[in-house]
Each structure stands twice: as C-alpha cells, then as structure tokens.
Copies of this chain bind each other. A is one copy, B any other.
C-alpha cells in the first residue's frame, strides 16, 4: 500500500457518479473519512489492549467503555460520510457532532493513561482520537460556512 499516491477510499470518491454534486470539500471529506475509520480500528484495538492489561484492567474500565463507544460511533460516522448519493445534511451534521464528542472524551481518557501509567497503546489511541476530533471539527466548520 506504501507506493499508492492515493488510498482506496480516495479512488472510490473520485469514481463516484454523483461526486460532481457533492456539497463537501473533497480534501476535508477524505481526511475525515480516513480519520474516522482509523480511529474506529484503533479504539477497537485499545479496548482489547486495556482488557489484556491483567494488572491494570481495573483502572482502565472507563477507558475500555469509551473505546467501545468511540469505535462504534467512528465506524458509523465513516460509513455515513462515505455515502455521497443524496446526503441529508442535518443527519451528517448531528453524526459529526456525536463523533467529535466521542473522540474528545476517549482522547482525553487515553491521554491520561498514556501520561500517568505509561500505557503506550493509549498514547497511539489518543493520537488517532485527536486527529479524528480535528477532522470532524473541520468538516463541521465547512458545513456551517
């Protein structure tokens, strides 16, 4: 995958029959879709890694719970955004706001565990959550403009 100038999702958007009517900025959209799906994978993995921290799992209960919520919310947001045929802007805006809230809450929690307990998977996860939070914020900014 390393030598591809464009990701598979980018190529899908470029070949979509209704992409010409898209109300979205293509760069912001592509970045947000990729951030959502990456965050969904990383949060699924972080919930599992926290569960596998046999000595610390008790302190990671809230983190696991937020990871599971964030994984589900990011998956759904990515799917809604990837669909370009006749979008409903009210639904998209509300789902982006939910995604932003989930990534903020999960990123804050993971960052704490990265800093205080040196949880390296939480450090990677906090980074993906921040990236997704910012991508959602940027998309929302573009929509209300």
Looking at chain A, what size class is its interface with the partner chain? Answer: 35 or more
- Interface: A84 (CB within 8 A): yes
- Whether B37 and A85, one on each chain, are in contact in the complex, defined by CB atoms closer than 8 angstroms, is no
- Whether A83 and B1, one on each chain, are in contact in the complex, defined by CB atoms closer than 8 angstroms, is no
- Whether A105 and B91, one on each chain, are in contact in the complex, defined by CB atoms closer than 8 angstroms, is yes
- Whether B72 and A12, one on each chain, are in contact in the complex, defined by CB atoms closer than 8 angstroms, is no
- Interface: A44 (CB within 8 A): yes
In the complex, the 4 A-B pairs of residues with the closest C-beta atoms, listed nearest first: A52-B85, A15-B120, A12-B45, A94-B98
Contacts A1-B34, A44-B83, A52-B17 hold; do A69 and B98 have CB atoms under 8 A apart?
no
- Interface: A76 (CB within 8 A): yes
